Structures are given as C-alpha cells and as structure tokens.
C-alpha cells in the first residue's frame, strides 16, 4: 500500500528517530491536543485528568514503537489507534480497581481527630446537572459501543470521534475503501441493534424503530 | 448520498457533547513534556538510528526470525501439542504400532477365521461339496445343523466372487499364519489344537438330546461334537462353541454289563459294557469323559457341559458312522464303526450316547442324554 504520509510529516518522523528533541517537541505540539480530544470521547466518564494520563501513556508508546510506524497511514491515525488501546486498558483497569477494592473506602461519618471535620471526598462520577442532560442517551450510546465488539468499536471510534475519512481508515486498517464502507455499515447495524435494545428498556422514546 | 442514520446522529451528538465537555484543548504540561523527552532520549540512545532514521533491528523485532518466533511462539507450542496428542492417540489405537494389541487382535482374528473355516467343510458336505461364497451367509447361519469343521483356508473364501459357488479344498491347506501365531502368541489350551496343521485328523458327530427336558432346554437340544486329539469342541444348536478336553477313563472288561440306557445319568467313572466290538474280538471299548465350557451366544451366559460316553481306540478319524434310533431314551443301537487301517491315530470315537450335565451360569442345570443322529 502506498505511503499516504505527507512529506513534512515524514521528515518530522525521521528527525524524531534521529533523536532530535526539537522534533519531538514539534510532534507533541502537533498531535497532543487532537489526541486528548479523541481520548476524551472514548468514555463518557473520562475527566481531563484521565485524558491527560491516557495521552501520556499513548505518547510513551509512540516513542517506544516509532520504528513500527511504517508510514502507511497518517501519523495521527496511528496515534489514535494507540490512544484507543490505551484508553481501553485504562477503563478496564479502573473497572477492575472498583471491583477489587482498588479504592480505599472512606467513612463519611468519621471526623478528623485534629480538625473535627468530616471528610468530603470528591466523587468520581459527573455532577448531577451533567447526569441530567442527555445523560441517558449518551450513556446508552457508550454502553452500546462497549458491547459492539473490538473491531467494530475501533472503526466507529476512528470514523466518528477521530473524524477519519474512508481513505484514512482504509490506509489504517489496510483494507479496500469499499470494504471499509461495508464493514462500517455492518458495524453500525450491529450498534444500532444493541442501542435499540438498551433504549427500549431504559427510555423507549429515544430510539424509535426505523 | 445516503441519509444519515439515527445511530450516526446519536454518535455525532455524543461526540459533539463530549468535545464540548472537554473544554479548551489539552496542553502538554511541562512535566509531561520532560518525561516524554527523557523517554525519547533514553530509547534512542540505547539503539542508534540508521540512515533513514530507523533503529537497527534488535532480536525479536519485526522482520527477523526472532520476531516470528516471538509472535507465533504460542501457536507453535499449541500446534506441537496437537501433533503430539494425535500421534499418541494413533499409536494407542492403531494395532500395527502397538505390538501387544496387534498380537491380541491377531489371535482373535485367527480364532474367527478358524471357526469360519471350520464351518465350511460340513456345510459344503451338505451342499454337495459346493461352498457358498458368501461369508455372511456362513457366519450368520443359526441352525441346529450348523457344523464346524476344521480349517478351510480363509483366502479361498475371500477370493471368491459374491454369490459364486466355490469348491472346498480337500484336504484344506494348513494355515501358514498358525505356526507364527503359536510361536509368538501362544493361545489358550482350548484353541491350541485348532492351530495345528491339517495332518492331525479329527472327527465330528451330531447329537440330539433326547431327555425329557430337552424340548424346553435353552441349550444343547442338539449339538455337534468335534474331536481333535484330546481337544474337543461342542457346537450348540445356535452355533455357540464350547471348548474343552476329553479324557479316557480306562479300558473296560468285555464281560461287564452295559450301562442302562433310557436317560439315566451315567456317573463320570469307569463304566463297563459288553459291546459289539468286544463280541467281535476287537479291542475293548473305553469310556471317556469330557468337559467343555463357553459362552452361549443366545443366552449370553456361560455354559459348562460335562459328560461321558464310549470311546473306541484306534478308530479312524475320518471314518463315517451312521447311527439310528436313540429317540425317547431307547437303546443306542450302535452299529459297528467303519474303522480305518491307520490305527496309529489315537482318536476316540464319539459314536455313543453322551450323558452329562450342562450348567448355565452356575445356576441352571440341564440333564443331557444325547444320541447320535444321522447327518
């Protein structure tokens, strides 16, 4: 497959491989914000702190595996795929921490022996106002994405959250653009079926049948 | 352009909402920048770049044998395990790779061949010495008249076209496999005599149980007795084969009384009689007793048949004997046997009444009072 990477980007990557610190800074500045915005969409409960942590992990992976980037797709597309994997790992780790007691329970009634004040730990969930506004819809979409399967989730996230074109998806997934179209269509069908099941139980009016 | 689907609208709405929630674009924190720069420096320092900026491939990197080994290591291990399991399974179940199992199956196959082959001689005799080529026809025969004879070459059966008549080889050739089989896998005493070559003669007679309980007896209503040396086989009316040995009790005096006929059980001791042979100056008759055992193929139960009868030493093994009467427990009415000049063969003629007991599965006792019948 032909290289679709622009010459300036290729040159930047080469400089990074030679260990030029300026090149790395330029690379970070070019893609850090876009990666953060993409990561933030990958879960409805990601905070900025979560996004920064995942973004840092993604760029560390880029540094370690820059030689694996063959230039068959845009660097940002490659970065998004890494970020999506890191975001998935982050979510799974957090879910495991919740199940396995990764958070230390704090008694809300216990007073500090010195100040005499009760602790007020920050909630990891969004505030009440956020949860009110389209929360069910968004949660339903996110829940459907979580159930649609890894392959479908990746192509949907890259398409709708990363705003990748069919050509970019084709280069990233190394398949024909028509195959991308048909695969995306099938994945959307699947996602729609799952979402319809979710909304029919929680809020029947949100997702009317076609 | 296709209209946007509902799910696409939801996805875009979700993305828009999340982007709005994200607020200002993320900026790389200086501490994070230093961390990333430090990681880049250490990574690139450990592996210097080549001309195109790529680092030299290390063991286990893409494009090297180590890479493929690392990537496909689990699959290779899994494949090797599957192959090993398949090999072990095949070696266990394939007799050619398991000498013990091969030997056991050979013994079983030889016994089956012998029985099948043995059945052909009298069967052919009943069919004007023309043998049906259908092996199934022979093996599925369930008749009181079904008789076993010894050894017809199984190759002869196998070569015959289905449905075509086949002449019986006379005398039947010895089974070449038998010698090897006896050397490598000695079988039990019951079947050993049948592994001998055709030079050892044998004889056979048919009997019918004439005791009162015979019509309702599940076994031994009629049967065939085959003798080969000291070995004896009794073939029941349903084709069940019981095997055992025969023993001569002792020579009897010529002037002693004949055991009373009429269904009385003759004890397994020395019996005396004054038979026609003695009257004609022939060697004194002897009494034999035998014991055979086997599984009845109809009842699927073990049957032990022990009995006794008259034995005539020096009689020809292949001599034909015709008997009359015997029904209703009357006198046996024996005629003189047609003896052969070959007196060296020490076979014992089974031409007299057989009296004994058949025990089915150690519980059911059936009295046997059998008389020879004309083939």
Q: What is the mean pLDDT of residues B63-87?
A: 80
Q: How far is A117 from chain B (nearest CA, A)?
A: 33
Q: What is the average pLDDT across B279-288?
A: 56
**Interface check A64 vs B, CB under 8 A:** yes
- Do residue A138 and residue B17 have CB atoms under 8 angstroms apart? yes
**pLDDT tens-digit series, residues A135-194:** 777 778 888 888 888 889 989 989 988 888 888 888 888 888 889 999 999 999 999 899
Cβ–Cβ < 8 Å for B245, B189: yes
Which residue among A19, A51, A52 places its CB closest to the CB of B44?
A19
- The answer to whether the Cβ–Cβ distance between B52 and A14 falls below 8 Å is yes
Whether the CB of A141 is below 8 Å from some CB of chain B: the reply is yes
Residue contact A59–B36, C-beta within 8 A:
yes
Q: How many angstroms away from the CA of B78 is the closest CA of chain A?
A: 25
Q: Tens digits of per-residue pLDDT, B315-356?
A: 444 433 333 333 333 333 333 333 333 333 444 455 677 888
Cis bond upstream, residue B171 (ω within 30): yes
CB-CB under 8 Å, A51 with B22: yes
Do residues B322 and B334 make contact, with C-beta atoms less than 8 angstroms apart? Answer: no
Judge: B6–A192 Cβ closer than 8 Å, yes or no: yes
The secondary element (H helix, E strand) that includes residue A54 is helix A48-64
Chain B positions in Cβ-Cβ contact with residue A191 (cut-off 8 Å): 7
Are residues A19 and B8, on separate chains, in Cβ contact within 8 Å? no
What is d(CA A14, CA A20) in angstroms, rounded to the nearest whole number?
A: 9
CB pairs under 8 A between A and B: 114
* pLDDT tens per residue across span B154-207: 444 444 444 444 433 333 333 333 334 344 444 333 333 333 333 344 566 788
B39 interaction partners in chain A (CB closer than 8 Å): 60, 63-64
Average pLDDT over residues A79-95: 89
Interface of B with A (CB under 8 A): 5-8, 10-15, 17-19, 21-23, 25-29, 32-33, 35-37, 39-41, 43-45, 49, 52-55, 61-62
The yes-or-no verdict on residue B311 having pLDDT over 60 is: no
Among the ranges given (A23-37, A56-70, B192-206, B320-334), the one the predictor scored with the smallest mean pLDDT: B320-334
What's the pTM value of the predicted model, to 2 decimals?
0.41
| Mean pLDDT across B271-282 | 41
Record: contact B53-A37, CB cut-off 8 A: no
Output the pLDDT for position B245: 87
């Amino acid at each position: 497959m032909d290289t679709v990477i622009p010459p300036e980007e290729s040159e930047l990557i080469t400089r990074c491989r030679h260990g030029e610190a300026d090149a790395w800074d330029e690379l970070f500045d070019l893609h850090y914000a876009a990666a953060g915005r993409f990561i933030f969409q990958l879960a409805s409960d990601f905070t900025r702190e979560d996004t920064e942590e995942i973004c840092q992990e993604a760029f560390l992976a880029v540094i370690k595996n820059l030689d694996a980037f063959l230039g068959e797709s845009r660097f940002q597309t490659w970065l998004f795929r890494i970020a999506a994997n890191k975001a998935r790992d982050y979510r799974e780790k957090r879910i495991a921490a919740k199940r396995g007691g990764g958070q230390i329970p704090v008694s809300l009634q216990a007073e500090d022996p010195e100040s005499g004040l009760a602790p007020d730990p920050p909630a990891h969930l969004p505030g009440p106002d956020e949860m009110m506004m389209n929360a069910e819809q968004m949660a339903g979409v996110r829940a459907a994405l979580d159930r649609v399967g890894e392959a479908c989730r990746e192509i949907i996230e890259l398409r709708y959250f990363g705003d990748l074109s069919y050509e970019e998806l084709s280069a990233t997934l190394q398949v024909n653009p028509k195959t991308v179209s048909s695969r995306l269509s099938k994945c959307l069908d699947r996602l729609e079926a799952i979402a319809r099941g979710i909304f029919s139980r929680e809020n029947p009016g949100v997702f009317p049948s076609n | 352009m296709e209209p946007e689907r509902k799910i696409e609208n939801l996805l875009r709405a979700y993305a828009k909402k999340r982007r709005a929630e994200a607020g200002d674009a993320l900026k790389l924190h200086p501490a994070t920048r230093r961390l990333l720069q430090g990681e880049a420096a250490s990574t690139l320092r450990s592996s210097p770049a080549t001309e195109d900026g790529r680092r030299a491939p290390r063991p286990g990197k893409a494009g090297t044998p180590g890479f493929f080994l690392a990537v496909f290591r689990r699959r290779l291990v899994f494949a090797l395990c599957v192959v090993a399991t398949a090999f072990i399974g095949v070696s266990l179940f394939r007799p050619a790779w398991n000498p013990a199992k091969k030997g056991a199956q050979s013994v079983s196959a030889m016994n089956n061949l012998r029985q099948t082959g043995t059945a052909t001689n009298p069967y052919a005799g009943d069919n004007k010495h023309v043998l049906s080529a259908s092996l199934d026809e022979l093996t599925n025969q369930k008749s009181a008249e079904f008789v076993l004879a010894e050894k017809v070459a199984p190759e002869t059966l196998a070569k015959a076209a289905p449905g075509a008549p086949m002449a019986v080889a006379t005398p039947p050739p010895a089974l070449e496999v038998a010698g090897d089989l006896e050397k490598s896998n000695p079988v039990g005493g019951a079947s050993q005599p049948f592994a001998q070559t055709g030079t050892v003669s044998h004889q056979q007679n048919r009997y019918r149980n004439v005791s009162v309980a015979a019509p309702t007896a599940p076994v031994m209503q009629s049967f065939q007795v085959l003798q080969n040396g000291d070995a004896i086989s009794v073939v029941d009316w349903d084709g069940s084969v019981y095997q055992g040995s025969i023993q001569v009790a002792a020579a009897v005096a010529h002037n002693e009384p004949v055991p009373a006929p009429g269904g009385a059980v003759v004890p397994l001791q020395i019996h005396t009689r004054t038979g026609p042979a003695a009257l004609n100056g022939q060697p004194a008759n002897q009494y034999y007793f035998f014991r055979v055992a086997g599984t009845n193929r109809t009842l699927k139960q073990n049957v032990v048949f022990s009995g006794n009868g008259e034995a005539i030493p020096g009689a020809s093994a292949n001599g034909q004997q015709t008997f009359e009467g015997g029904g209703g427990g009357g006198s046996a009415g024996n005629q003189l046997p047609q003896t052969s000049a070959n007196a060296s063969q020490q076979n014992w003629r089974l031409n007299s009444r057989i009296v004994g007991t058949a025990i089915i599965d150690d519980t059911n006792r059936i009295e046997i009072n059998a008389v020879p019948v004309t083939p």
